[in-house]
């Protein structure tokens, strides 16, 4: 357990986080871009068309990864909130506050692509299906965290208030996940299951897997890049930022 404690203490220190997150951002972006390019090309051009939905199903390669990242983003945000509340870590606060806009964007992307996909498949742009509604609620939860965070003048209070809200909101995540089983509706059941073989043929889900990995890497890269800048701004009066600025000054 010793290495875990060391790792944890290192990442909790702002200068270390700043330095390492730079490397990680570059690494994750270097992973995300090829994955997203390959996945998009493979999914849109080479994967076989669906026998029922034809080519319109190809939007799944954006829709499903965006929805997955949107949901995990909230859980990550709430976890950062818990860490921030319990150990009073500045880095956790920063990660939480920067999770919200990216998560909101991903949720919006999932809703928008779902709506575009719904038109040819169900014949309507918007259907009040349990899962779509849950995603809409998720979007509002993200917007609430963003709104609350910006309403405070004191950054520390803003971080802790957002953390409490994120933790209360996390109660809704299981409802989103299990809404499909609770209310029978028009939406098809979850595409990926850990315990079963996917219902799609390999040629269809392999590019989807690539896209999902690409989206996660992209999310991580953007989150770290944003957090890094935010941390630098908040710590602008500290010694390590001053010496960093002095180092890079011409």
Partner 1 sequence: MGLVPLAGLICRREWLLAVRSPAQVLNPLVFFVLVIAMFPLGISPAPEVLARIAGGVIWVAALLAVLLSLESLFREDRDEGVLEQLLVSPHPLPFVVLVKVLVYALLVGGPLVLMSPVLGLMLSLPPATYGTLVAALLLGMPTLFLLGSVGAALTVGLRRGGLLLVLLVLPLYVPVLVFATAAVDAAQLGMPVRGHLALLGALLALMLVVAPVAAAGALRVTSEE
47 Cβ contact partners less than 8 Å away, ≥ 6 residues apart: 58, 61, 203, 204, 207
Shortest Cβ 37–partner 1 spacing (Å): 36
CB of 73 to partner 1, least distance (A): 16
CA distance 161 to 19: 28
Distance CA 60, CA 49 (A): 12
Structure tokens given for 69: 């990242």
164 binds partner 1 (CB under 8 A): yes
Question: Can residue 49 be called a binding residue for partner 1 (CB under 8 A)?
Answer: no
Q: Rule CB under 8 A: is residue 86 a binding residue for partner 1?
A: no
Burial code (b: 16+ CB inside 10 Å, e: under 16) for 199-217 equals ebeeebbbbbebbbbbbbb
Nearest to 224 by CA among 94, 111, 105: 94
Contacts (CB under 8 A) with partner 1, residues 56-85: 85
Task: State which of residues 44, 116, 161, 209 lies at the interface with partner 1 (CB under 8 A).
Answer: 161
Interacting span for partner 1 (CB under 8 A) from 2-10, 62-70, 87-95, 134-142: 134-142
Residue 137 binds to partner 1 (criterion: CB under 8 A) = yes
Per CB under 8 A, 168 contacts partner 1 = yes
Instruction: Name which of 110, 141, 116, 129 is nearest 211 in CA terms.
Output: 110
Residue in 140, 180, 186, 229 binding partner 1, rule: CB under 8 A: 140
State both tokens at 57: 């199903």
Cross-strand bridge partners of residue 54 = 50
**Residue of the chain from 47, 109, 141, 217 that contacts partner 1 (CB under 8 A):** 141
Cβ proximity to partner 1: between 12 and 167 the closer is 167
Using the minimum distance from each CB to partner 1, give the nearer residue, 15 or 144: 144
**Token reading at 76:** 């990550």
Q: Nearest distance from residue 141's CB to partner 1, in Å?
A: 5
Site string for partner 1, 174-213 (x = CB under 8 A): -x--------------------------------------
237 backbone dihedrals φ, ψ, rounded to 5°: -90, -5
112 or 175, CB closer to partner 1? 175
Instruction: Classify 47 as helix, strand or coil.
Output: coil
147 interacts with partner 1 by CB under 8 A: yes
Residue with token string 């259907």: 127
**What is the C-alpha separation between 123 and 112, in angstroms, rounded?**
15
Residue ranges that bind partner 1, judged by CB under 8 A: 85, 133, 137, 140-141, 143-144, 147-148, 151-154, 156-157, 160-161, 164-165, 167-169, 171-172, 175
């Amino acid at each position: 357990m010793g290495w875990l404690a060391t790792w944890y203490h290192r990442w909790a220190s702002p200068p270390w986080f700043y330095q390492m997150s730079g490397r990680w951002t570059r690494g994750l972006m270097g992973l995300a871009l090829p994955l997203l390019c390959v996945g998009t090309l493979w999914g849109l051009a080479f994967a076989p068309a669906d026998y029922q939905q034809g080519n319109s199903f190809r939007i799944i390669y954006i829709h499903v990864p965006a929805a997955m990242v949107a949901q995990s983003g909230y859980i990550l945000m709430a976890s950062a909130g818990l860490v921030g509340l319990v150990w009073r870590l500045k880095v956790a606060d920063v990660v939480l506050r920067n999770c919200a806009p990216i998560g909101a964007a991903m949720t919006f992307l999932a809703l928008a692509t779902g709506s575009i996909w719904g038109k040819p498949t169900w014949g309507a742009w918007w259907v009040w299906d349990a899962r779509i509604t849950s995603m809409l609620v998720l979007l509002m939860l993200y917007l609430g965290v963003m709104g609350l965070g910006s309403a405070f003048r004191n950054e520390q209070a803003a971080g802790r208030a957002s953390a409490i809200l994120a933790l209360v909101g996390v109660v809704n995540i299981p409802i989103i996940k299990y809404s499909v089983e609770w209310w029978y509706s028009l939406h098809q059941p979850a595409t990926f299951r850990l315990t079963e073989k996917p219902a799609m043929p390999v040629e269809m889900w392999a590019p989807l897997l690539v896209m999902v990995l690409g989206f996660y890497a992209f999310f991580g890269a953007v989150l770290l890049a944003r957090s890094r800048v935010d941390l630098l701004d908040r710590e602008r009066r500290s010694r390590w930022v001053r010496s960093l600025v002095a180092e890079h000054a011409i």
